[in-house]
Structure 1
Amino acid sequence: MIRTAEEYLESIRDGREVWIDGERVKDVPDHPAFAPAVRNRARIYQLAHEPDTQPTMTYLDEQTGQRNAIGNKLPRSQRDWWDKRTAVDTVLDDLRGVVTRVGDETVGEMWSLFDGQDVLNEVDPRFAANIRTHIARSVQGDPFHVSANTDPKGDRSKRPQDQDPDMLLHVVRETDSGIVVRGAKYETAAAYANQAFTKPTIANWGSDELSDYAVGFIVDMGAPGLRFICRSGFAGRGTPRDYPLANRVDEIDSLVIFDDVHIPWENVLFYRHTRAAAYIRATLHRYSAFAYTQRVERLADLMIGAALWNVKQTGLHHQPAVQEKLADLAIYREGINAHLTASIALAQESPGGLLMPNQSLLYTGRVLATRGLPGAMHTARELCGGQICITPDAASFDAPEIAPWLEKYYSINENWLAEDRRKLLAFARDLVNSDYAGHRLTFQLFAQSPPFANLGAVYRNFDFDGPLDLVRRAADLSDRVAAK
């Protein structure tokens, strides 16, 4: 059943070893760096219980009669995808910013493995049963589920076996009750999540049929032997008045150390099976790319809103040159929207009998969103003007000796007084020009694979046969060509 916010908070007070800024964290939910992210995830649980949002955030399971989170529901119809999209929008509206790693995106990775049960059965039928069990647990238990993909990797010109073997997570031994793994993974939100689907990043296994690196499993974030070493948070680097997004929706990334962590057999999803590992790398984002791309659409909405309010404040919104730049942002936003919408309208049945967004349209939309984001951010900067990088902080506007001067030069007219001008400039700075903004932009290279992998997904899913046949017939090529 859907959890409460209190149940979630207690679930991550399990004695896990979390480090940030060189210090051991005593209480993750209350630590200033983690509190915003933990509060946001708790708020999502709370939305599932509030009368106004419960119908959007949950559904009633016909078989069990239990109310479950819509984000965890296996997608079997277009209606399921529309409901998921509405639920994510509801969360982002409530949090007033973009959060990415909160579970609805990462749980989709397990659905990809659900589609590959025949691959899992090749090595051991237990593994296919395990994925079904864990998907059922994600639906019924409502854990905060994240993803563990990227390893430190070390020297990429060498095989893992030819350097420190721990540079890629691997199995060091088997026991009657499970496997023992060692290595490290970079994971967003790991320090305050309940579990992670952990799998390799190797795409080309060469001639290796069996490998201790070809392992995928569900890990309990409270398991002995796990250590979380986190990057510094953006929350607290400035006041919420000066950096409203950084202090509200920053998500903490961790280097998660697996120091001989025991994984019970029932949590192992594949092991020493390079074909299963290659399959999950090729299909990992079959579902989760939708929720990820939807969040870039929301970033576009925020940039349009910040830019448009700014030109309205300064009276430039009637200028044709300004309208052209706003149109560029709108085209970028609607391009993402069109791909998301069409991917639902032309959704496809998956190998496991689920309904997946049209793969060619979804992956193309993701590339459009990520490739166009830097340019869209710069257009938003242009429209907001240079004041986003030179405006004094909120404390200066409060200081009695200098406040009158700032009131004079930041007030525009009787409707736009200095405080609203300051608020908008602070928001725009944090959205497109702060350290936090730069982190969010670079995060696109990490969150769902780098550009070459995204383009590879488009290549594998686009139907090239149609254009080939079109030109064969238009150019009147011989039948010998068609047979190639």
Structure 2
Amino acid sequence: MLRTGEEYRESIRDGRKVYVNGEQVRDVTTHPMFKPIVDRRAHIYDMAHQESTQAVMTYTDEASGELNAIGNRLPRTQEDWWDKRRAVDAVQRESGGVVTRVGDETIGEMWSLFDGQDVLNEVDPRFSDNIRRHIEHSISADTFHISANTDPKGDRSKAPQDQDPDMLLHVVKETDNGIVVRGAKYETAAAYANQAFTKPTIANWGNSELSEYAVGFIADLGSPGLQFISRTGFAGRASAADYPLSNSVDEVESLVIFDNVEIPWENVLFYRHTKAASFIRSTLHRYSAFPFVQRTQHLADLMIGAALWNVKQTGLEKQQAVQEKLAQLACYRENINAHLTASIALAEPSPGGLLMPNQSLLYTGRVTALSQLPAMMHIARELCGGQICITPDAGAFSHPDTKEWMEKYYNVNENWIADDRRKLLAFARDLLNSDYAGHRLTFQLFAQSPPFAQLGAIYRNFDFDGPLDLVRKAADLSENVLGGQVLGTGNRAAQDGKVAVK
């Protein structure tokens, strides 16, 4: 059943060992670096109960008649995807910034497991029931579910067995109750989440069919033996008046130490078989890339809004050079929107009977969104002007000795008074120019795989048969160029047919 925000807070008061800034955190729900984002996640839970947002955040389960969170619902129709998109939009609007790791974007990795049950059964049929049960549990229990992928790795020129074996998380022994694992994972939100789908990083298995590093499981983040060593948060470093995003939507990453943690057999999803691990890695973002790219669209909206308000306050919005830069931001935003919309409109049946966003359009949309983001941020900086890096802090606007001068030089007209202008410049600075902004930009390299892996996903999912067949016919090439293989219809032909029918 749907949890409330307070029920979520209580669920993470479980005695877990969290460390930040060289101190142990006694309660992540009240610590100044964690409290703001914990409150944001709690508010998302409360949105499912509020009259104004309940309809967009929930659906009624046909079997039980209970309300459940729309983000956790298995996607079977296009309308399911439109519902999920509307829910994410509502969350982003309510947050006032961009929240990236709040659960709905990582549950999709479990759906990839659901799709891969046949493949996993071929190598080890023991764990299919675990996969289905955990998906059902995520829906019914409304847990805060995250993802654990990246290990410290160590010296990548060496196999993990040739160095400290804990550089990649691995199984050290089996027990009657389950498996015992050692190692570490970097995880966003781990210190204040309930569970994590923990799986291998991109690894060089060589010719090994079996490996103690090829393991995937659900980790209860309140388990004995776990420690969370968190990076310093941005919240509390400076005033919220000067850094509104840093103090409200900063999501803290942790190095999660697995110090001989026992994972019950019912929580193990695959184990030892490198084929299974490689398969999971190749399909991991089949669903989860969608909400991540959607969040980048919301970031584009924030950049457009901040830039446009900045030029409007000083009367520059009618200049052609300014309009051209605003149009570039609009093109970027609409490119993301078009890929998301088209990936739903041309959605594809998945191997497990679900409906997945069109994979070629989704992955090309992801590369479009993330590869162009640094340039778009710089355009937004240009439009905001140099004052975002030189404006004094909020204290200067209120101190009796300086208030008069700040009002004199920051009042533009009767519509743009000094305090509003200060708020806008502070927001733009935190969005585009602060430590938090730099962190968010670099985070793209961690959050959804590095660029080479994103391009690899496009290569595997783009329908090359269409262009090959087009040029073969246009150039009048012989059938011999096919090397004895017959071209299939490919996804492109099927998609073109759907568009023609519509």
Q: TM-score, normalised by structure 2?
A: 0.96
8 Å contact kept, 1:203–1:281: no
Task: Give the letter for the 1:102 counterpart.
Answer: V
Secondary structure at the counterpart of residue 30 of structure 2? coil
Secondary structure at the counterpart of residue 457 of structure 2? helix
The corresponding residue for 1:179 is 179
- Provide closer, same or farther for how the CA distance between residues 124 and 482 of structure 1 changes in structure 2, counting only shifts above 3 A: closer
Task: Give the letter for the 1:436 counterpart.
Answer: Y
Secondary structure at the counterpart of residue 249 of structure 1? coil
The corresponding residue for 1:241 is 241
1:466 and 2:466 aligned? yes
The corresponding residue for 1:137 is 137
The corresponding residue for 1:344 is 344
The aligned runs of 1:189-208 (5 Å cut-off) are 189-208=189-208
Could you list the runs of 5+ residues in structure 2 that have no partner in the other structure? 485-502
1:454 and 2:428 aligned? no
The corresponding residue for 2:403 is 403
1:203 deviates by: 4.5
Task: Give the letter for the 1:438 counterpart.
Answer: G
Task: Give the whole-Å Cα distance in 1 for the aligned partners of 2:478 and 2:215.
Answer: 48
The corresponding residue for 2:383 is 383
1:87 and 2:94 aligned? no
8 Å contact kept, 1:367–1:455: yes
1:188 and 2:188 aligned? yes
The corresponding residue for 1:421 is 421
1:206 deviates by: 2.2
1:482 deviates by: 1.9
1:130-172 deviation per Cα after TM superposition (whole angstroms, max 9, x unaligned): 0000000000001000000000000001000110000000000
The corresponding residue for 1:76 is 76
The corresponding residue for 2:393 is 393
1:478 deviates by: 1.1
Could you list the runs of 5+ residues in structure 1 that have no partner in the other structure? none
Task: Give the whole-Å Cα distance in 1 for the aligned partners of 2:166 and 2:205.
Answer: 17
8 Å contact kept, 1:146–1:189: yes
1:402-425 deviation per Cα after TM superposition (whole angstroms, max 9, x unaligned): 111111111111110110110000
1:205 deviates by: 2.0
The corresponding residue for 1:477 is 477
8 Å contact kept, 1:472–1:482: no
Task: Give the whole-Å Cα distance in 2 for the aligned partners of 1:409 and 1:291.
Answer: 42
The corresponding residue for 2:280 is 280
Task: Give the letter for the 1:372 counterpart.
Answer: Q
Task: Give the letter for the 1:202 counterpart.
Answer: I
Task: Give the letter for the 1:306 counterpart.
Answer: A
Task: Give the whole-Å Cα distance in 2 for the aligned partners of 1:43 and 1:295.
Answer: 18
1:7 deviates by: 1.0
Task: Give the whole-Å Cα distance in 2 for the aligned partners of 1:55 and 1:169.
Answer: 41
Task: Give the letter for the 1:122 counterpart.
Answer: E
1:122 deviates by: 2.1
The corresponding residue for 1:314 is 314
Task: Give the letter for the 2:166 counterpart.
Answer: D
1:34 and 2:34 aligned? yes
Task: Give the whole-Å Cα distance in 2 for the aligned partners of 1:101 and 1:263.
Answer: 23
Secondary structure at the counterpart of residue 421 of structure 1? helix
8 Å contact kept, 1:204–1:278: no
Task: Give the whole-Å Cα distance in 1 for the aligned partners of 2:124 and 2:440.
Answer: 40
Task: Give the whole-Å Cα distance in 1 for the aligned partners of 2:283 and 2:172.
Answer: 27
Secondary structure at the counterpart of residue 247 of structure 2? helix
1:477 deviates by: 0.8
8 Å contact kept, 1:244–1:426: yes
1:182 deviates by: 0.1
Task: Give the letter for the 2:482 counterpart.
Answer: A
Secondary structure at the counterpart of residue 256 of structure 1? strand
Task: Give the whole-Å Cα distance in 2 for the aligned partners of 1:460 and 1:340.
Answer: 19
Task: Give the whole-Å Cα distance in 2 for the aligned partners of 1:70 and 1:36.
Answer: 24
1:165-214 deviation per Cα after TM superposition (whole angstroms, max 9, x unaligned): 00000000000110000000000000000000000013442211000000
Secondary structure at the counterpart of residue 248 of structure 1? coil
Secondary structure at the counterpart of residue 412 of structure 1? coil
The corresponding residue for 1:356 is 356
Secondary structure at the counterpart of residue 147 of structure 1? strand
Query: What is the RMSD of the two structures over their aligned residues, measured on CA atoms?
Result: 0.7
The corresponding residue for 2:271 is 271
Task: Give the whole-Å Cα distance in 1 for the aligned partners of 2:360 and 2:262.
Answer: 39
1:63 deviates by: 0.7
The corresponding residue for 1:327 is 327
The corresponding residue for 2:493 is none
The corresponding residue for 2:170 is 170
Task: Give the whole-Å Cα distance in 2 for the aligned partners of 1:156 and 1:362.
Answer: 30
The corresponding residue for 1:431 is 431
Task: Give the whole-Å Cα distance in 1 for the aligned partners of 2:408 and 2:51.
Answer: 46
The corresponding residue for 1:216 is 216
Task: Give the whole-Å Cα distance in 2 for the aligned partners of 1:402 and 1:395.
Answer: 9
Task: Give the letter for the 2:142 counterpart.
Answer: D
Task: Give the whole-Å Cα distance in 1 for the aligned partners of 2:416 and 2:232.
Answer: 36
Task: Give the whole-Å Cα distance in 2 for the aligned partners of 1:458 and 1:267.
Answer: 32
Task: Give the whole-Å Cα distance in 1 for the aligned partners of 2:246 and 2:464.
Answer: 43
Task: Give the whole-Å Cα distance in 2 for the aligned partners of 1:130 and 1:274.
Answer: 19
1:104 and 2:141 aligned? no
Task: Give the letter for the 1:260 counterpart.
Answer: N
Task: Give the letter for the 1:22 counterpart.
Answer: G
1:54 and 2:54 aligned? yes
Task: Give the whole-Å Cα distance in 2 for the aligned partners of 1:363 and 1:404.
Answer: 53
Task: Give the letter for the 1:79 counterpart.
Answer: E
1:237 deviates by: 1.1
Q: TM-score, normalised by structure 1?
A: 0.99
1:123 deviates by: 3.2
